[in-house]
């Protein structure tokens, strides 16, 4: 499989922050980056990469550089591993990459867990509203939960009594 690892960087070489990416279709990838950056209706418009580009001269102030092109990638996972290799070579303070290109299943689970925790911390009112609506739709869950809690507490009290005897 043919693949390209590329850099997206500012032409003026000031405020050097690099983005490493990988693709099997460079023309299409450049187009997607431009759409993500320049179209306010795009769901990726407000990501830090595209905000950084707009804050530092806009789309035309950045260019692409080819880091590596090969036709012997086994599959997309192989391409992502190689992309990750190049991402790891750039010091964090110079990187615009927010997430890893390649993650093991366990790393992916951990990143999703951390993202959920950040969201919950940042949106307590939305979470409370969601939980309220969910409990209204699922009253049996709360009833069963309270029963289980009651019995666990009762069993724990009995354990403590037996230990004190």
Residue boundaries of the structural domains of the chain:
3-105, 123-164
CA 100 to chain CA centroid, nearest Å: 8
Res 99 pLDDT > 90:
no
The encoded tokens of residue 127 equal 């979470």
What would the mean pLDDT of 132-138 be, rounded to a whole number?
89
In Å, what is the CA distance from 140 to each residue of 10, 134, 145, 146, 148? 57, 11, 8, 10, 12
Superfamily of domain 3-105: GIY-YIG endonuclease (3.40.1440.10)
pLDDT one-digit tens code per residue, 49-90: 999 999 999 999 999 999 999 999 999 989 999 999 999 999
The encoded tokens of residue 104 equal 């093991």
Look at residue 9 in the predicted model and tell me its pLDDT. 94
């Amino acid at each position: 499989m043919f693949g390209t690892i590329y850099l997206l960087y500012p032409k003026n070489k000031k405020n050097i922050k690099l983005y490493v990416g990988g693709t099997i279709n460079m023309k299409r990838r450049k187009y997607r980056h431009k759409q993500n950056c320049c179209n306010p209706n795009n769901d990726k418009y407000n990501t830090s990469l595209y905000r950084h580009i707009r804050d530092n001269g806009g789309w035309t102030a950045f260019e692409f550089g080819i880091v590596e092109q090969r036709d012997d990638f086994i599959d997309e996972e192989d391409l992502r591993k190689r992309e990750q290799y190049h991402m790891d070579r750039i010091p964090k303070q110079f990187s615009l990459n927010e997430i890893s290109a390649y993650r093991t299943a366990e790393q992916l689970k951990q990143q999703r867990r951390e993202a959920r925790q950040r969201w919950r911390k940042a949106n307590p009112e939305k979470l409370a509203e969601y939980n309220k609506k969910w409990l209204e739709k699922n009253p049996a869950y709360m009833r069963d939960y309270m029963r289980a809690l009651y019995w666990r507490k009762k069993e724990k009290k009995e354990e403590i009594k037996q230990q004190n005897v």
